[in-house]
Structure 1
């Protein structure tokens, strides 16, 4: 029975992932309805403001779901938001049993949904594939609890730890499969952030270049508003949300705002943008996640500030050498190996000829 229960929950997880990049700041949720050993309804949360997974699954049922088992990756909501409570729909359709992946961290739910169903006489079992369900919504659980973005530090490097040749050439460190995965990640997260040095050196566009992808908010850490008015980011600022974090208001900042950028005035720390203050401001603006793409100085500053939650390192099996060639992390570094920041829950995923190593801090 337990294996079958996990099989249905993993199917619900597969469905939930279809909402990636479309439901933020809501969680990804999948639901499967089973009657007499047969799946009679499936659904997932498709977009923010749309029906929740449970209501979609009930709507899609091929027969009366009365007495059926309902499997859902996240505890059913019990409050009015953009849509009615899912607990009401479960009760109305006389579902027999409910299996939940993990409880909701939202204070408006947080165990209340499961208790409402139990009080109505519906058996509820929680913790089915719980770790997988929690990992699926690591962004949501962090944001709903802390109100600051979940930050993913991403970089691509050669096997000897270089992100570019000593000449500065960096196209391309990794292959097509790895680069596509980066764009998929861009589509899933709310924002993408770089330092002004990256803008001055690379003039990036920071868009999502896959079919059906969604462009994230583009964020530039630029203490003294050095971002060029003719760079790609500013030329497209009226079309794609572009945020510039500064520590002072000057004529250049005013010009960037006039050109279409959103200016965020932050506290200064060592003459740089205070990243902790920036995260609180972006979180208050509704950004629940950020892909931190560079450069090396900003990456290390973010680690020092404690704002990074996950690391994505794309490793290309090639060697380029060069004592002056850049590495992913700049700054002064930590003084002792014992001070190094360890990752946990590490996974390794092959992407073409390259490898993606992921872990959480």
Structure 2
């Protein structure tokens, strides 16, 4: 083994230790930020400890560049009647945001100047399509997910950073189950990591996770043990890499009961957590590159220190979405303008 390889293993080990050690000396806490609005923020895109974007109801998009001490309203002027459910940001200036709804209510907007101006880059003209989530595999390549059209989930793709989008051929998509769809609850029904993409479903006879290794051209569907039903299934995915995944969900109509509402990827198999949050959760996120992870929902927040095998409640406040930036800063957002950053000590 080369010296460089040995050093990389040591560094990775130290990162894992640090990610867990940050929670061993005190209870993690959400530090709420005054956003000055009552919009519901299901779209969340943290860039760092200082920079984050949120997107939500009534066409509202906010941005902070000072760690949440102040927020600027930067949403598109023509989107006041629309509902943002996802936003992806690369830095303080560059972001893509998704609105949801049947037909033309599903749109994508892009900005490269911090929200001072937006360009509508896609407007859905198919009355049968309903877009739920968007993700970027890198700065150029992105995907957006629609509920099934003609019996198959629909994928929209970009190869120019979100400036233009086109519908992928359905040939590589497995057939949807009867009643199957995706949940536009936190912008994390479609996610990506290490060049691979995944999306999660519910509504049908089984909740499933679809995966693609070729930029969304072909997909493989895997059933999971998380219960599915008319309003139940997987609401959020989080992947640290291709082999470490988390899935959380439940039934939003019964938010205080989800006995098998969290699972983790073990090889190619999804396994229900030994200790689950026990209630509906709409968002999940890895903290850095170690085994620590977060889950949130309208009845509270949970922490896992063992890659999703066990979860423990640490907060009872309501959040819809949670995501962590590359520098380890974790943010959450939800109803009544609630946005918070995680304090580890």
Q: TM-score, normalised by structure 1?
A: 0.26
Max radius of gyration: which structure? 1
Q: TM-score, normalised by structure 2?
A: 0.27
Select the structure that is richer in strand: 2
Select the structure that is richer in helix: 1
